[in-house]
Amino acid sequence: MPSISHLSIILGGARSGKSTFAERLASSANRPRAYIATSQAFDVEMEAKIIKHQQDRGPDWQTIEAPLDIAGALAQVSANSVVLIDCLTLWLSNQMHADADIDAEVTNLLTVLSASPNPVICVSNEVGMGLVPDTPLGRQFRDLQGMLNRKIAEQADLAVFVAAGLPLALKGTLPEGLT
């Protein structure tokens, strides 16, 4: 069975191919796969996007909806599975909208990721490469997302940046066949 890192983070911009790469990485482990979905369908467009993602993944994935409670979702995953969390950007946004204590939530997330008996792949947007947001909330989100990405990457064995569908290992080594 190919080796997979205990914790991986896959970063990229919107529509960069990061989720597709993360799914390929999870599939390369030849284990049962669990998908922790953090998105919520607040409109028809998002609902259609979620349905398309589910169809693209196919029925081989255990899907757990967890817009806020990643720890609870990880506890539901079968042993010897590989876990894909898609995505931390929406999770952070959900936490902010819930007026959560972000520092406490991030600390808890890092703890549960470290303690997971299963390998975990996190998908997150790299939001710091664009324009400076023109609102205080936008700047706060950008700053918190950058902090979250740094903390996950620091703890991760594998950090990959995806641009135009092409993965670039920032930390660790890509498994054969995924370059």
Catalytic residues: 53
What dihedral do alpha carbons 99, 103, 106, 110 form, nearest 10°?
-160
Per DSSP, the residues of 138-177 read HHHHHHHHHHHHHHHHHH-SEEEEEETTEEEEEES-PPTT
How far the first Cα of the chain sits from its last, in Å, is 18
Q: Considering all CA atoms of the chain, what is the largest pairwise distance in Å, rounded to the nearest integer?
A: 48
